[in-house]
């Protein structure tokens, strides 16, 4: 039974995002929707010596656009982000190995759009974690009107018999539409993650997956739910 998950692309997301990917057979980056300001699309958190800090990709002030249409015109952020990442994690046990693989994505590549950047880094992390899930863009499929109808139709187009949704969608999804089309609706649970060895003070779960990779390396899957060691 094919399982499908759908979510907007995020910038270097937290570990739960990658567990959602790993739980599905196909994961659709849902970037044919409105860009939201001060959200996870273009920023995420890392731990630093002075506390949790945001890394934000500059995208301009215009919020009246789809995520897929957000352009990256200011290129200076890449070197700045990489310098901050290196300064924050250079003492982590697995920094050298992860940094060697990740550095070219920051210093040797050019990104024209936010969706392109996010997908590239998401695929890099999936490779590091051994996640084999197929990743697609929403524009690979026909997008119809209706908040729930869109998701149901994407399930039908991909041949998915089960849709895995994040828990925040409970407030707006019409569950009956999935049942009427014979599609199982499963709510993903982000609770119960174990702590792992982490730099800089008290443990924080809600930070970028980079934190787990730098601190745990090949052992990272042991601290996740659906990514298998």
Structure tokens at 65: 């656009």
What is the predicted pLDDT for the residue at 120?
98
Give the pLDDT score at 228.
84
What pLDDT, in 10s, does the model give residues 95-134?
999 999 999 999 999 999 999 999 999 999 999 999 999 9
Largest Cα span, the chain? 53
pLDDT at 223: 97
Q: Is 57:77 a contact under the CB 8 Å cutoff?
A: yes
Regions in the chain scoring below 70 on pLDDT: none
DSSP 124: H
Residue identified by tokens 């739910």 is 225
Pairwise CA distance, residues 166 & 86, whole Å: 32
Q: What is the DSSP letter of 43?
A: E
186 by DSSP, 3-state: which?
strand
Tokens 């042991």: give the residue.
Answer: 222
CA distance 116 to 159: 26
d(CA 186, CA 167): 9
**CA 78 to mean position of chain CA atoms:** 18
pTM of the entire predicted model = 0.97
At 63 the pLDDT is: 80
């Amino acid at each position: 039974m094919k399982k499908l998950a759908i979510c907007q692309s995020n910038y270097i997301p937290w570990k739960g995002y990658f567990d959602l990917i790993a739980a599905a057979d196909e994961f659709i980056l849902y970037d044919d929707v409105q860009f939201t300001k001060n959200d996870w699309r273009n920023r995420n958190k890392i731990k630093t010596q002075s506390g949790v800090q945001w890394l934000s990709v500059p995208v301009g002030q215009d919020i009246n656009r789809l995520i897929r249409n957000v352009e990256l015109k200011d290129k200076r952020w890449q070197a700045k982000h990489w310098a901050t990442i290196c300064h924050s994690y250079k003492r982590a046990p697995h920094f050298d190995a992860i940094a060697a693989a990740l550095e070219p994505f920051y210093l040797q590549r050019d990104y024209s759009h936010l969706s392109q950047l996010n997908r590239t880094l998401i695929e890099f992390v999936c490779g590091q974690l051994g996640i084999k899930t197929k990743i697609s863009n929403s524009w690979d499929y026909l997008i119809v009107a209706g908040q729930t109808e869109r998701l149901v139709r994407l399930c039908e187009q991909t041949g998915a018999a089960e849709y895995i949704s994040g828990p925040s969608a409970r407030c707006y999804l019409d569950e009956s539409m999935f049942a009427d089309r014979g599609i199982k609706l499963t709510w993903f649970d982000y609770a119960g993650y174990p702590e792992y060895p982490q730099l800089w003070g008290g443990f924080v779960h809600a930070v970028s997956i980079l934190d787990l990779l730098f601190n745990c390396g090949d052992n990272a899957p042991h601290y996740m739910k659906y990514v298998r060691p």
